[in-house]
Chains A and B, each alone.
Chain A
């Protein structure tokens, strides 16, 4: 077991636990965008920041990638974190406003204005789809190409990938893309964009396997 101080409390967690898992275990909520329990940690969205180290000499790290260490002093809700996080959310809003996840975050953290020039990207490069495709679907059909501001998600050489089985895992996990996030619309309470996915529960309902919430397919089945 590893002993740490979390928000002033002496706690102990198992070796190999990340700070995010530790905080969640102790009931402290930390926002994330690029993290998913079933996937490896990536540390790209920077929303899950926590402050580590003694006051005065502390620094911010992403809790999803930071392993618990003996004697570490961790604080999860400081002004410094809040300031950085709100700036990040504002940047997300300025970049990718059509994501419901991001709009919700803005609401939760009371980011009410965007002071940057508005862009309308449909990807925040959180890398969830790439990890989903690789780690859960064992397909490796997509990857991240190029670097810096030119970075994007693509198939090899931008050709249709032989590896892709059209499983839709990438779309399912995406917190930003248009296909999932048009949100409920006036004429239609569900956005329908997910209809072309084929969730495993379509043929035979099995609770454990259904990873869609709300499950479009089930709802359709129920309506029929």
Chain B
């Protein structure tokens, strides 16, 4: 099955939940990543519950500081 992650196609051999996708994409510090699936911001409590479906569009959004200092 294929899904889109941050604009890039990712091929998966089976259905995964959000947490498994984060692992597969080697995202570190997962507790600080915001995950958006289509028009929903996924609650961190649901990372292990929400399964991704064929064709889903997923965005990993990151905290970014920077600027002054």
Q: Do A and B actually bind?
A: no
Q: Show the binding face of B for A, using Cβ within 8 Å.
A: none
Q: Show the binding face of A for B, using Cβ within 8 Å.
A: none
